[in-house]
Amino acid sequence: MAENKNLRQHGEVITWVMTEEERLEYIKKHPIIPTEEPQTKLQVFPMSDWM
């Protein structure tokens, strides 16, 4: 019988710690820029198909 492998298992979690200076430097390199209009959410199934 074939082995049943769960292909949806999560991988190993790697955690690291940044100093406050490293964190501020990272934010300078990768700023969060707000957009003028919020993005519309993707509707996979139209509401008309629900009923």
Report the C-alpha gap between 30 and 22 in whole angstroms.
12
Residues 6+ away with beta carbon under 8 Å from 18? 26
In this predicted structure, what is the pLDDT of residue 51?
59
Q: Which pLDDT score, from 0 to 100, does residue 5 have?
A: 65
- Is the distance from CB of 4 to CB of 12 less than 8 angstroms? no
The per-residue pLDDT for range 1-51, each reduced to its tens digit, is 456 666 677 788 888 899 999 999 999 999 888 777 766 666 666 666 665
